[in-house]
Structure 1
Amino acid sequence: MSSTDDSSLSLEEKQYEFCGHSLKIAMFRGTSLGVSAFVWGPGLVLCRYFEDEKFNFTGKKVLELGSGTGIVGILAVLLGGDVTMTDRAYVLKQIEHNVSANIPVTSRHRSKIRALAWGNDQNNFPTDFDIILGSDIVYNPSQFLRLVMTLLNIANEKTTIYLSSDVKYREGAANFHEEILPTRFNCELIHTSGSNCIYKVTKKVRRDED
């Protein structure tokens, strides 16, 4: 059953254009999705980066953390990726709605939607992802260690992680990228747009893991 059957639900839809694709993204208002029911700036900056850099995800196994509306993961599917979009369980119907609205049936087999609570569910996921994506997921310092734990469990030494964050207006975001994450990951700032920064991240290979 579609979550749009909920009488308390109001949909706000916005149109976006990236990489030659027209995306109609619905945000479920009137629900308890909170920050997940918005398309945030860091996500749009990441999508535009894919466009500017002419990303091609064909043949790549991709995981998106904190998918929210699903806009970033949906674009990655449209650019050829085999994408697993994840978020808290109560957000998944919003992602499902947007996947159905934007990904053709012929490509939908390359999209998966699963619940992932950081620090709890990461062991239920494979560790062979080529790429991990996250946009505006660094905003709550109480979740930072859980996020690092999740990345450590799921990423392998060949996984490339792209994190797009608002380092000025999100509490602790600058410290996360400059101090916390670099203790276990190689972190490179590769793009800025206003206060939004995209970091390319790879897992450090520890001697005791060789």
Structure 2
Amino acid sequence: MQRNAAALAASPGRVVVQALPWGDELSPVRPAYDVVLGADVVYDPRCFPALLATLRRLCGPRSVAFLSCGMRRQLGTEGFFHELLPLHFCVRLLRHHGDTNVSLYRLTLRRGGSGCTD
């Protein structure tokens, strides 16, 4: 916590932290962030559509999102990354830790429905 406080103090106005209920109107949130980070946010299939909508609102053409989570087969986590996200994002697996079954993915918005080049 002290490291985070020091980092925030060193760069005032550059880091914003706020609650973000998925799928809610995002008017208080500035869209098209440069980087979006999510850790262990893919865990309830009922929330997948709202999470996808929120990611689409936060990301612009130059945004990069990184999502890391446990791959819970019984909850359809792999389906979120391999079926839902690719409808709107280019999805690339960066790392998978077999012992814990945790994966890290890189997402960028698809451009005009085109394929992915990265």
User: How high is the TM-score relative to the length of structure 2?
Assistant: 0.80
For 1:14-163, list aligned pairs within 5 A: 98=1, 101-102=2-3, 103-104=5-6, 106-107=9-10, 109=12, 110-163=14-67
1:147 is aligned with what amino acid? L
Matched residue SS, 2:30 = coil
* Number of residue-to-residue matches in the alignment: 108
**What's the secondary structure of 1:133's corresponding residue?**
strand
Q: Residue 188 of structure 1 aligns to which amino acid in structure 2?
A: R
Structure 1, 180-189 or 163-172: larger mean CA deviation: 163-172
Q: Distance in 1 between matches of 2:74 and 2:11?
A: 33
Q: Which residue of 1 aligns with 2:109?
A: 203
Task: Give 5+ residue unaligned stretches, structure 2.
Answer: 114-118
Q: Work out which of the two has the higher radius of gyration on C-alpha atoms and give 1 or 2.
A: 1
1:148-171 residue CA offsets vs partner (Å, 9 max, x unmatched):
101111210110111111113672
Structure 1 stretches lacking a partner, 5+ long: 1-97
CA distance in 2, matches of 1:117, 1:166: 21
Offset of residue 128 of structure 1: 3.3
Asked which structure has the greater RCO (Cα within 8 Å, sep 6+), the reply is 2
- Cα distance change on mapping 1:178 and 1:113 into 2, 3 Å: same
126 and 170 in structure 1: CA distance in 2 versus 1, 3 angstrom threshold: farther
State whether residues 134 and 162 of structure 1, in contact with CA within 8 Å, keep that contact through their aligned partners in structure 2. yes
Question: Which amino acid in structure 1 is aligned with residue 109 of structure 2?
Answer: K
TM-score under structure 1 normalisation?
0.47
**Secondary structure, in 3 states, of the residue corresponding to 2:107?**
strand
